[in-house]
Amino acid sequence: MRILIAEDDRAIRRAIREILEMEGHTVDEAEDGVEALNKFEGISYDVLFCDIKMPKMDGLELMQSLRALDHQPEIVVMSGHGNIEMAVKALRLGAYDFIEKPLNLNRILVAINHLKEKGQLLQSNAALRTSIKKIKGNGIIGDSPQILEIQTMISKVAPSDARVLITGPNGSGKELVARSLHDQSNRNKAPFIEVNCAAIPSELIESELFGHEKGAFTSAVKDKKGKFELASGGTLFLDEIGDMSPSAQAKVLRALQENVIQRVGGEKDIKVDCRIISATNKDLRKEINEGRFREDLFHRLSVIPIHVPSLNERKTDIPMLVDYFLAMICQEQGIKLKPIQEEAIKALQGVNWTGNIRELRNVLERLVILCDDEINKEDVVRYANPI
């Protein structure tokens, strides 16, 4: 760290300097507040050891002047018994620590080690925040016009509580859009609850969504909260909404209209507050025309429609997706990043991706495992369509 000692006693400055330099720090000195302030004009110091009583400008005045700097140093104030009150004022002004005179050099080392640990913690937290932001922000990979339009739509819609209906083929990334909406919303500290309506038998979907009371049916041995209750305050993602049973559709419609639900076997109205995001790979207007989906529910769900294109519609994004998935897969497999030739990427762009993003990821995992040191065009031809 780069450290400045502002102290009018030369012997004290020298003692502090020697012990800090022994620890590997770069140290400068100033004999008064004015000289210390001048040194900050050309150098960004990480830490300032500052005496309270100094000629020309005391420590409190120096701290006030340093507030205008873009890079704020951590400040450790030093003071004798008669200046404790001033030292307390310095701490209120933002000083990190206070060391009483006569100085204990071990106390100096403790202070600087604490500051070093604080700096490392701040760096770790910043890196973690960057990683989280990267994961959230880059979950939808691509720079094609369709993807840029979706990202713009998410940034506009996410802060609101408007209901969103996400459409698109299987494996295209509808869940990523839903999670991005939640992550960028004001509800992001509350739960994101997902229900796959196609994976739950029709006779159980109502219990899953609304919960049930003890004794409502044979296996209901105790009360159970449904997904609407669990998501209250957050986001409820109804995936494959087009596969929901007619009776469940009617209850979902009431929940959206009145913000209340009833558990299966219960009569008590339960207030819920969750944002609804739904998704489907079906043409809901066709489902409505054929009597399988309620039109009034459709209009409740599709306040904001977002369509996610198939991978075949956005093949210009494949190079970015390949880089992203190769890095992820190699890390998961615990192997060195496997390079891929440009011709191999072009070959991947020529594949008919009926399984969309999910299929691309599976193919890349296959290539990482089965190919030798580098993925080439012949590997893609051999392994991309094995059946």
Collapsed DSSP state (helix, strand, coil) of residue 99: strand
Indicate the residue among 252, 278, 309 that finishes a domain: 309
Tell me the pLDDT tens digit for each residue of 228-269.
999 989 999 999 999 998 888 998 999 999 889 888 888 888
Q: Say what the pLDDT of residue 129 is.
A: 47
Does 142 reside within a domain? Answer: no
Q: Say what the pLDDT of residue 113 is.
A: 84
Q: Say what the pLDDT of residue 373 is.
A: 86
- What tokens appear for 85 in the block? 């009150």
Q: Say what the pLDDT of residue 319 is.
A: 95
CATH at 92: 3.40.50.2300
Shared domain check, 319 and 305: no
CATH at 244: 3.40.50.300
Phi-psi region of 334 (alpha: psi -120 to 50; beta: other; left: phi over 0): left
Q: Say what the pLDDT of residue 152 is.
A: 94
Shared domain check, 300 and 195: yes
Does 137 reside within a domain? Answer: no
Q: In what order do the strands lie in the sheet with 2-6?
A: 26-30, 2-6, 47-51, 74-79, 97-100
- The structure's pTM equals 0.63
Strands 235-239, 97-100: pairing is unpaired
When the pLDDT of each residue in the chain is averaged and rounded to a whole number, the result is 87
Shared domain check, 292 and 185: yes
Does 133 reside within a domain? Answer: no
Indicate the residue among 267, 292, 309 that finishes a domain: 309
Shared domain check, 301 and 267: yes
C-alpha distance from residue 179 to each of 134, 173, 192, 294, 355 (Å):
14, 10, 8, 26, 21
Indicate the residue among 278, 309, 340 that finishes a domain: 309
Q: Say what the pLDDT of residue 167 is.
A: 97
Q: Is it the case that residue 327 has pLDDT exceeding 60?
A: yes
Shared domain check, 265 and 172: yes
Does 352 reside within a domain? Answer: yes
Q: Is it the case that residue 356 has pLDDT exceeding 90?
A: yes
Shared domain check, 305 and 160: yes
User: Which one is predicted more confidently, 205 or 342?
Assistant: 342
Q: Is it the case that residue 110 has pLDDT exceeding 90?
A: no
Does 165 reside within a domain? Answer: yes
Shared domain check, 341 and 365: yes
CATH at 317: 1.10.8.60
The domain tally of the chain equals: 3
Q: Give DSSP secondary structure letters for 23-60.
A: TT-EEEEESSHHHHHHHTTT---SEEEEESS-SSS-HH
In the chain, where does DSSP find H-type helix? 10-22, 33-39, 59-66, 84-92, 105-137, 145-157, 174-183, 202-210, 227-230, 246-258, 284-289, 295-301, 318-333, 342-349, 356-370, 377-383
Tell me the pLDDT tens digit for each residue of 128-155.
444 444 444 446 899 999 999 999 999 9
Tell me the pLDDT tens digit for each residue of 21-73.
988 888 999 898 899 888 888 788 889 998 888 888 888 888 888 877 767 88
Q: Is it the case that residue 275 has pLDDT exceeding 80?
A: yes
Shared domain check, 8 and 91: yes
Does 135 reside within a domain? Answer: no
Shared domain check, 290 and 341: no
Shared domain check, 361 and 304: no
**Domain boundaries, position 287:** 156-309
In this structure, the chain runs to a length of: 387
Share of the chain above pLDDT 70, in %: 93
Tell me the pLDDT tens digit for each residue of 297-325.
999 999 999 999 999 999 999 999 999 99
